[in-house]
Amino acid sequence: MERKDVQMIWFAGLMFGGALFWAGWTVSHGNFYQPGDELGYNMGLIGALMMLGLLIYPIRKYLKFAQRWGAIRFWFSLHMMLGIFGPLLVLFHSTFTIKSVNAGVAFYCMCIVAGSGIIGRFAYSKIHRGLYGSKLTLEEIKKELFGSEGMAESKLKGYPKVLIVLHRFHQYALETEFGLFGRVVRFLTLPARRMWANFLCMLYMPRYSRDSRLRRQLVLDYLYGVERLAQFAVFERIFALWHVMHIPLVYMLVATAIWHVIAVHMY
């Protein structure tokens, strides 16, 4: 993906987030509708049905009778969309206030599941190729990194300071002598160290030359490759643990949402 495309995605995301924040602030501080009004009720109903639809993906993935329901990528994409827009509609349905115990239980369960989904999506991106790509292996990452390292050595041999920064980052990221506390600190601080190393490399290379953009992209790719290799095993464990916990959380969310709907209509 081109850098301009990434910038446009970030810009669109910031605009969308800003619009949501403004709309949420307006709804929570105004008196436009109540959760029991027609508008509020319908938003809650649609949001609840969307969250109920979250069960379709695990059904399609694990149950034999659902294997003919279409491509797994489509259901995965739909699962993520429902996991975003369903909770959003429920939030606007509630006008960002909790007025009963059962609503509070359903609300906090929804927040836990939504947060779990964000964590899982992040961990997924660290051990897979793209959104729908195959799962990476440690050997594949090593192979890509060694190829990138060889290219960096040849393309950047005229910039010894840059190579020193890259070598130091590589040595720190893949150091095996750290204790448990040191490994935790390294895991948490490695993205910041990668950005600092990239900043130093940019200082040591000319900004305006025929192939400066290629060299800068080479440095960035190499640093990302080292970071991915250093963190791969941890993210693999995180994703495995998340996968065990996320499905029961989804079932819990659906159960509490159903109970909330029953309680609203009964009382």
Note the pLDDT of residue 193. Answer: 92
Note the pLDDT of residue 225. Answer: 86
Do 78 and 101 belong to one domain?
A: yes
CB 189 within 8 A of CB 231: no
Count other C-beta atoms under 10 Å from residue 12's C-beta.
10
The two three-digit tokens of residue 228, written as one number: 């991915």
* Residue environment code for 85-94, b if the CB has 16+ CB neighbours within 10 A, otherwise e: ebbbbbbbbb
Note the pLDDT of residue 94. Answer: 81
Provide the domain limits for residue 151.
138-240
Q: What is the pLDDT along the chain (267 residues), one digit of tens a residue?
A: 444 555 566 677 778 778 878 877 887 777 778 877 888 888 888 888 888 888 888 888 888 888 888 888 888 888 888 888 888 888 888 887 777 777 777 778 878 887 887 888 888 878 877 655 566 666 777 777 777 777 777 777 788 888 888 889 988 888 877 788 888 888 889 999 999 999 998 888 877 666 777 888 888 888 888 888 888 888 888 888 887 887 788 778 778 877 877 777 776
Type of residue numbered 8: M
Helix axes 180-204, 212-266, angle to 10 degrees: 130
The two three-digit tokens of residue 29, written as one number: 């501080």
Do 27 and 149 belong to one domain?
A: no
Do 105 and 228 belong to one domain?
A: no
Count: domains in the chain? 3
Do 22 and 110 belong to one domain?
A: no
Do 99 and 168 belong to one domain?
A: no
The two three-digit tokens of residue 188, written as one number: 């948490």
| Residue where the block lists tokens 């440095």 | 219
Do 220 and 181 belong to one domain?
A: yes
Note the pLDDT of residue 196. Answer: 93
Among 95, 129, 118, which Cα is nearest to 25's?
95
Do 56 and 21 belong to one domain?
A: no
Do 48 and 172 belong to one domain?
A: no
